[in-house]
């Protein structure tokens, strides 16, 4: 018996596409429609991989050995409570409901709490804290944008459906898809390529000296015309760049200069150089013109900007450019958030503590200090003496000195499968795949909350992140109590059944509320 | 459930016409009852204290995307106000936009027990509810931005009020919303392309409708749905000099819609909508004109949006307003946050200063309106938290209302041009405790259509605030600081029949509070057919089925059922 489930949400990238059609047979996903290749890889195959962890494990004599859930929870709680200053890191691929418990756990432990954003779009958050940001939800782009700029990112591979679902290749109320013109262009370029190859062969045959190829030609005239246009700015020609109306290649680490140059042009200032970041100023002028002339423009930027020279200053100046452009037209700028719920981690942390990441609870209240409390910096200084990693794989991404320091102290991991970090763990928990095996909330890159669905049952005995963290938190409180330490109150779990009381029929308000006799005993003034 | 007997307090309960009478209040099972057995009950000796219903805040931005973005971009705001974890309470931060737990605690410490969240875009309603769930000790609800929702614009442009009503009923249910919120009608849609509307008769680009038609249409919808509250309106041209005229035009446009003498609209943060003068240089107060109109008409209610001179954060769905504020200069952070098909939004940190002629006059305008409107059932106390100042400045605002001396003390420090222009020196009115109770609980509860809130009659929710004010011995207008302190630190706050605050300190943080939402039952439901779903897919970037706020997002749900007439 197979069943089809509609409107399933893809728990992979910040696009959070919510239109998947999933076919389930014998508690297994067998088919998926509408999603991209990345999505198919995980939803149909990846989640049931052989690397799946099914039982909690504890490292004994250097080897991971399966143990009972109780034992693992006790051990993890012991490690966390014994540590003077643990670090809880990850959170970008789990749901808000789990992140909420995470904050409570960090508070109870007086630990450090950080999410993956500190190694991806942390600089974007910092820039926003400096200058704000003119942003909009993705639908606003779909309906209105006639100029779409991807800067230092490659949606084609990192967010495969971003272009087709939300920006250049989608039909909006006021702007149509650019798909047709793209197809025409591709056809043209295909034949051009053929011609090129042919002519090159002739050239070679004629043993001519190859003329210097101008990689970065001038912007096409179409940039100044109405209708949707897409520009890609990057240091190398990516797939996304191929699809763009104009690809502006800039020298590595020169984003700041190029954006500042564009700002100057937008503000009508003279530039007395010929090139900026490898791009001739005339070209920049045309790009700036297109930006000023459009009805609604948007810049999406990626890690190429946040993690290259200048870091959050790059973002700051890019935001300033978008802000300046709002004096001429409508202009939006937004980060391409990567993991499907890294945005949610920022949101949950912020509403519970005031800060989006890099939080320290050691003083009994939240403190924020990126560059100090961020996971990498903390580990580099070897400030923490235990680490819990949840729904992330720093094993694959962190610098090796940092990893070395992490390994000097106990490590607890919570991940569905045996990724690099789980292999290194001292206590290794299995967990359910959120969005496949359990329900929860995630925030799209534009902070639109979307409910992830459950489509199959989890393997028996494997808990959700939320359940697991609650267990660890409860155990931590037990241990602290035994040691005579004060502990916080456990939040009453309220079962979401509606209505709690029989629905109350609220009468229409009367013009004058009839005075009710209040209380019987009236006392004379003493 | 415990029983509580509050003995010998001076009860101030305007809905039941009780004015500082010494009496007992009995509580059982979360409700006010006629009597309890004193032996079993927890007795609170309230002799010499003032007893009121728990405060009901009619407009405050405490939860949702906009609020949280404000939190995120203002670490410097939190540094100065860290809140420690205790054995009873969670830690967090203030100042102008406190974290959710701290929001609940601080409201409760002032004797407030209900808060109505100013505005939320439907697409992000889940977010608002997630945050509301994390605000303990308070009943809550949220208004839903409806005025620029495309389905509303289209149906009202067609003149199909009934279909519009059915869709709005669906929207309220789908978002677990409480009231129709309208912000700069037509302006938010225009802002999608960086434009705005500048009067209530300016056409909205691409939609063939005017702000007047949107507002009037939604008042009709509101009536047809028999909603508990009126429409909740943030007027066009907010924050623009000379806008008192737009505000008057708006109020006049609704006169014929009130057929039974009942209010049909609530204009929020009226202070920001009562500016006179052609430009900032000639900035003047429009309070007299607004108050005069309000004194002659009964179809509106207002709240103040009082400025309190603090370093705060402005946030509104009125994107174009925030951008114009940014363009005035002096700000380094500007957030814009448009929401497809529904709304826009913006945030700017703002420091209101006494030595700024404009800010000082804004402070004066809020108080002038509140004091010049004779009937306290028509205007309620708010700061439009955090726009005019954080909600914990309420005791200050109250002091300015009940004490001329307090007003004078502040006015003395204000910019001289504001001093000259202020009408306050000519106003002698000082509000009584009775009037204060109206402006902070009785009036708001009535305007919100909550029969069990805002009073202490038998059957009322057992939400009680007890203040260390003895009306027989304390002249609040003279000793305004003493009374101000009492309002800042409730002697007791009782929520749902449990003592949660004592001597201004939270003693129980485990009462979650309920979330009210309106379920208006229409005769025919709106047509959710394939055509509608297709449209939905065109209009939004999420699927129809994924749009609604499911029960999962409401911790303690309190559904208000209404019978609609369509
Ligand atoms: S674009 Fe991202 S969210 Fe959408 S289907 Fe592909 S991986 Fe999933
Ligand atoms: Zn407001």
Query: What residues does each domain of chain B span?
Result: 56-400+442-447
What is the Cα gyration radius of chain A?
27
Closest chain B residue to the Cα of A332, Cα to Cα: B336
Bridge partners of A5?
A22
Phi–psi pair at B265, nearest 5 degrees: -150, 150
pLDDT, tens digit, 9 for 90 and up, residues A9-44: 999 999 999 999 999 999 999 999 999 999 999 999
Q: Is residue A8 lining ligand 1, measured as CB closer than 6 Å? A: no
pLDDT at A199: 62
Give yes or no for residue B498 having a pLDDT over 70: yes
Is the distance from CB of B447 to CB of B229 less than 8 angstroms?
Answer: yes
Shortest CB distance from B194 goes to which of A9, A143, A326? Answer: A326
Q: Is residue A11 lining ligand 1, measured as CB closer than 6 Å? A: no
pLDDT, tens digit, 9 for 90 and up, residues A142-174: 999 999 999 999 999 999 999 999 998 888 898
pLDDT band at B293 (very low <50, low <70, confident <90, very high): very high
Domains of chain A: 51-119+340-482 (3.40.50.740), 122-202+212-335 (3.40.228.10)
- Which ligand 1 atom lies nearest to the CA of residue A159? 1
Interface touch B75/A355, C-beta < 8 Å: yes
pLDDT band at A211 (very low <50, low <70, confident <90, very high): very low
- Chain A CB contacts of B338 under 8 Å are 135-137, 140, 332
Mean pLDDT of A112-126: 94
pLDDT at B531: 83
Q: With a cut of 0.95, is the ipTM above it?
A: yes
- Which ligand 1 atom lies nearest to the CA of residue A10? 8
Mean pLDDT of A64-78: 97
The pair of three-digit structure tokens given for residue B314, joined into one six-digit string: 């402005």
pLDDT band at A198 (very low <50, low <70, confident <90, very high): low
How many angstroms is it from B327 CA to the middle of ligand 2?
A: 21
User: Tokens 């000259």 sit at which residue?
Assistant: B420
Query: If you write DSSP's letter for every residue of B458-470 in order, what string do you get?
Result: TTSB--EEEES--
Buried b (16+ CB within 10 A) or exposed e, A236-273: eebebbebbbbbbbbeeebbbbbbbbbbbbbeeeeeee
Average pLDDT, chain B: 96
Which residues have C-beta within 8 Å of that of residue B317, sequence separation ≥ 6? B66, B119, B121, B145, B181, B183, B184, B188, B234, B343, B344, B345
Mean pLDDT of B460-481: 97
pLDDT at A196: 67
pLDDT at B344: 96
Give yes or no for residue B329 having a pLDDT over 60: yes
Instruction: Give whole-number Cα distances, B12 to A126, A226, B51, B397, B465, in Å.
Output: 49, 66, 6, 19, 10
Neighbours of B507 (CB within 10 A): 15
The pair of three-digit structure tokens given for residue A261, joined into one six-digit string: 């140059």
Average pLDDT, chain A: 89
Interface touch A488/B333, C-beta < 8 Å: no
B22 touches chain A (CB under 8 A): yes
How many angstroms is it from B234 CA to the middle of ligand 2?
A: 8
Is the distance from CB of A230 to CB of A168 less than 8 angstroms?
Answer: yes
The pair of three-digit structure tokens given for residue A521, joined into one six-digit string: 């005993």
Interchain CB contacts (distance < 8 Å): A and B: 297
Q: Mean pLDDT check: name the lowest of A197-201, A202-206, B169-173, B554-558.
A: A202-206
Is the distance from CB of B388 to CB of B306 less than 8 angstroms?
Answer: yes
Alpha-carbon torsion B490, B495, B499, B501, what sign?
negative
Interface touch B542/A142, C-beta < 8 Å: no
Specify the residue with its C-alpha closest to ligand 1, atom 2.
A13
Cα–Cα distance measured from residue B41 to residue B53, given in angstroms and rounded to the nearest whole number: 19
The pair of three-digit structure tokens given for residue B51, joined into one six-digit string: 């007893």
Closest CA to A357 of A172, A125, A147: A125
User: Tokens 């009680």 sit at which residue?
Assistant: B464
Interface touch A523/B23, C-beta < 8 Å: yes
Is the distance from CB of B305 to CB of B268 less than 8 angstroms?
Answer: yes
**Which residue out of B31, B96, B323, B340 would a mutagenesis test of the A interface target, given it has the greatest number of A Cβ atoms within 10 Å?**
B340
- Which ligand 1 atom lies nearest to the CA of residue A37? 6
pLDDT at B330: 80
Is the distance from CB of B479 to CB of B409 less than 8 angstroms?
Answer: no
pLDDT at B524: 84
Percent of chain B with pLDDT over 70: 100
Is the distance from CB of A369 to CB of A360 less than 8 angstroms?
Answer: yes
Closest CA to B185 of B215, B151, B142: B215
pLDDT at A499: 36
pLDDT band at A512 (very low <50, low <70, confident <90, very high): very low
Alpha-carbon torsion A361, A365, A370, A372, what sign?
negative
Shortest CB distance from B510 goes to which of A125, A492, A498? Answer: A492
- Which ligand 1 atom lies nearest to the CA of residue A20? 5
pTM for the complete prediction?
0.94
**Which residue out of B16, B84, B95, B542 would a mutagenesis test of the A interface target, given it has the greatest number of A Cβ atoms within 10 Å?**
B542
Is the distance from CB of B356 to CB of B329 less than 8 angstroms?
Answer: no
pLDDT, tens digit, 9 for 90 and up, residues A224-270: 888 999 999 999 999 999 999 999 999 999 999 999 999 999 999 98
pLDDT at A506: 37
- Which ligand 1 atom lies nearest to the CA of residue A9? 3
pLDDT at B203: 97
Is the distance from CB of A115 to CB of A104 less than 8 angstroms?
Answer: no
pLDDT band at A516 (very low <50, low <70, confident <90, very high): low
Q: Is residue A32 lining ligand 1, measured as CB closer than 6 Å? A: no
pLDDT, tens digit, 9 for 90 and up, residues A403-452: 999 999 999 999 999 999 999 999 999 999 999 999 999 999 999 999 99
Specify the residue with its C-alpha closest to ligand 1, atom 1.
A161
ω into B346 cis (within 30 of 0):
no
Pairing of strands A86-90, A330-335: unpaired
Cα–Cα distance measured from residue B69 to residue B61, given in angstroms and rounded to the nearest whole number: 12
Closest chain A residue to the Cα of B194, Cα to Cα: A330
pLDDT band at A525 (very low <50, low <70, confident <90, very high): very low
Interface touch B559/A504, C-beta < 8 Å: yes
Mean pLDDT of B450-466: 97
Bridge partners of A114?
A89
Closest CA to B500 of B168, B136, B74: B136
Which 3 state secondary structure label does DSSP give B290?
Answer: helix
pLDDT at A210: 37
Q: Is residue A142 lining ligand 1, measured as CB closer than 6 Å? A: no
pLDDT at B67: 98
Q: Is residue A64 lining ligand 1, measured as CB closer than 6 Å? A: no
How many angstroms is it from B189 CA to the middle of ligand 1?
A: 29
Interface touch B15/A515, C-beta < 8 Å: yes
Give yes or no for residue A495 having a pLDDT over 50: no
pLDDT at B1: 57
pLDDT, tens digit, 9 for 90 and up, residues B377-409: 999 999 999 999 999 999 999 999 999 999 999
Q: Pick B56-400+442-447's CATH classification: 1.10.10, 3.20.20, 3.30.450, 3.30.460.
A: 3.20.20
Interface touch A450/B24, C-beta < 8 Å: no
Cα–Cα distance measured from residue A371 to residue A381, given in angstroms and rounded to the nearest whole number: 11
Cα–Cα distance measured from residue B146 to residue B488, given in angstroms and rounded to the nearest whole number: 35
């Amino acid at each position: 018996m197979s069943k089809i489930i509609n409107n399933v949400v893809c728990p992979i990238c910040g696009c959070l596409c919510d239109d998947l059609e999933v076919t389930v047979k014998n508690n297994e996903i067998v088919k998926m429609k509408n999603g991209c290749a990345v999505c198919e890889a995980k939803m149909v195959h990846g989640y049931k991989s052989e690397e799946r962890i099914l039982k909690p494990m504890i490292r004994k004599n250097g080897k991971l050995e399966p143990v009972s859930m109780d034992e693992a929870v006790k051990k993890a709680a012991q490690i966390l409570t014994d540590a003077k200053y643990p670090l809880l890191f990850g959170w970008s691929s789990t749901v808000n409901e789990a992140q909420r418990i995470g904050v409570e756990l960090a508070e109870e432990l007086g630990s450090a709490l950080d999410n993956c954003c500190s190694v991806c779009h942390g600089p974007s958050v910092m820039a926003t804290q400096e200058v704000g940001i003119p942003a909009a939800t993705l639908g606003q782009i779909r309906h209105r944008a006639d100029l779409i700029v991807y800067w230092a990112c490659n949606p084609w591979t990192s967010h495969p459906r971003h272009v087709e679902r939300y920006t250049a290749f989608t039909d909006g109320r006021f702007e149509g898809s650019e798909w047709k013109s793209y197809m025409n262009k591709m056809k043209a370029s295909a034949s051009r390529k053929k011609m090129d190859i042919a002519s090159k062969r002739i050239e070679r045959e004629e043993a001519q000296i190859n003329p210097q190829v101008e990689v970065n030609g001038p912007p096409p005239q179409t940039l100044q015309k109405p209708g949707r246009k897409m520009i890609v700015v990057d240091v190398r020609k990516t797939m996304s760049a191929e699809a763009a109306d104009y690809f502006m290649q800039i020298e590595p680490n020169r984003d700041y200069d190029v954006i500042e140059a564009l700002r100057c042009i937008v503000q009508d200032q003279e530039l007395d150089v010929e090139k900026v970041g490898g791009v001739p100023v005339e070209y920049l002028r045309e790009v700036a013109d297109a930006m000023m002339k459009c009805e609604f423009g948007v810049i999406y930027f990626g890690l190429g900007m946040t993690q290259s020279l200048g870091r959050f200053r790059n973002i700051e100046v890019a935001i300033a450019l978008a802000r300046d452009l709002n004096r001429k037209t409508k202009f939006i700028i937004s980060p391409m958030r990567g993991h499907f719920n890294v945005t949610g981690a920022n949101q949950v942390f912020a509403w519970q503590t005031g800060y989006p990441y890099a939080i320290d609870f050691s003083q009994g209240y939240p403190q924020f200090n990126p560059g100090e409390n961020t996971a990498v910096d903390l580990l580099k200084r070897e400030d923490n003496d235990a680490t819990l990693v949840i729904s992330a794989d720093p094993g694959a991404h962190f610098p090796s000195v940092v990893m070395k320091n992490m390994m000097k102290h106990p490590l607890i991991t919570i991940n569905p499968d045996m990724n690099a970090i789980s292999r290194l763990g001292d206590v290794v928990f299995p967990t359910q795949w959120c969005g496949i095996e359990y329900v929860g909330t995630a925030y799209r890159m534009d902070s639109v909350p979307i409910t992830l669905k459950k489509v199959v049952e989890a393997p028996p005995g494997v808990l959700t992140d939320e359940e697991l963290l609650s267990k660890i938190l409860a155990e931590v409180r037990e241990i602290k109590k035994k040691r005579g330490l004060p502990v916080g109150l456990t939040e009453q779990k309220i079962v979401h059944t509606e209505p709690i009381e029989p629905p109350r029929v609220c009468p229409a308000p009367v013009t004058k509320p009839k005075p009710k006799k209040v209380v019987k005993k009236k006392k004379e003034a003493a | 459930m415990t029983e509580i007997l509050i003995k010998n307090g001076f009860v101030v309960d305007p809905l039941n016409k009780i004015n500082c009478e010494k009496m007992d209040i009995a509580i059982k099972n979360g409700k006010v009852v006629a009597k309890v057995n004193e032996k079993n009950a927890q007795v609170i000796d309230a002799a010499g204290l003032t007893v009121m219903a728990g405060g009901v805040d009619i407009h405050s931005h405490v939860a949702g995307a906009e609020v949280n973005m404000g939190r995120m971009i203002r670490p410097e705001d939190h540094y100065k106000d860290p809140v420690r974890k205790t054995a009873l309470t969670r830690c967090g931060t203030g100042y102008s936009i406190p974290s959710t737990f701290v929001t609940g605690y601080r409201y409760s410490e002032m004797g407030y027990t209900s808060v109505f969240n100013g505005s939320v875009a439907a697409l992000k309603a889940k977010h608002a509810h997630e945050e509301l769930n994390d605000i303990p000790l308070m009943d809550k609800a949220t208004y839903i931005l409806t005025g620029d929702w495309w389905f509303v614009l289209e149906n009202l442009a067609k003149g199909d009020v009934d279909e519009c009503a059915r869709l709005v009923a669906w929207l309220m249910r789908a978002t677990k919303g409480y009231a129709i919120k309208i912000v700069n009608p037509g302006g938010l849609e225009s802002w999608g392309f960086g434009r705005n509307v500048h009067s209530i008769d300016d056409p909205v680009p691409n939609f063939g409708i005017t702000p007047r038609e949107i507002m009037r249409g939604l008042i009709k919808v509101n009536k047809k749905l028999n909603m508990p509250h009126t429409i909740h309106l943030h007027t066009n041209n907010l924050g623009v000099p000379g806008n008192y005229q737009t505000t008057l035009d708006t109020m006049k446009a609704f006169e014929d819609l009130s057929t039974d003498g009942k209010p049909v609209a609530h204009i929020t943060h009226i202070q920001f909508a009562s500016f006179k003068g052609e430009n900032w240089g000639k900035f003047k107060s429009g309070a007299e004109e607004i108050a005069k109109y309000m004194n002659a008409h009964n179809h509106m209610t207002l709240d103040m949006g009082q400025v309190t001179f603090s370093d705060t954060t402005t946030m509104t769905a009125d994107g174009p307003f925030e951008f114009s504020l940014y363009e005035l200069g002096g700000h380094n952070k500007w957030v814009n946050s448009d929401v497809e098909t529904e709304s826009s939004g913006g945030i700017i940190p703002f420091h209101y200063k006494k030595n700024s002629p404009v800010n000082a006059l804004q402070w004066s305008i809020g108080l002038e309106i509140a004091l010049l409107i004779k009937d306290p059932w028509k205007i309620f106390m708010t700061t439009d938290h955090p726009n005019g100042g954080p909600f914990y400045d309420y005791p200050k605002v109250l002091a300015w209302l009940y004490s001329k001396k307090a007003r004078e003390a502040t006015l003395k420090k204000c910019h001289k041009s504001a001093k000259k222009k202020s009408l306050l020196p000519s106003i002698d009115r000082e509000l009584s405790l009775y009037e204060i109770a109206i402006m902070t609980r009785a009036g708001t509860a009535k305007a919100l259509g909550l029969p069990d809130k805002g009073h202490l009659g038998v059957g009322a929710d057992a939400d009680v605030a007890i203040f260390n004010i003895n009306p027989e011995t304390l002249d609040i207008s003279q000793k305004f600081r003493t009374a101000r302190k009492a309002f800042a630190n409730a002697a007791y706050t009782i929520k749902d029949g449990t003592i949660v605050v004592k001597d201004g300190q939270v003693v129980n943080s485990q009462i979650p509070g309920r979330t009210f939402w309106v379920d208006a039952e229409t005769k025919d439901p709106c047509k959710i057919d394939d055509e509608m779903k297709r449209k939905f897919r065109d209009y939004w970037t999420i699927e129809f089925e994924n749009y609604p706020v499911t029960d999962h997002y409401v911790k303690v749900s309190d559904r208000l059922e209404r019978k609609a007439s369509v």
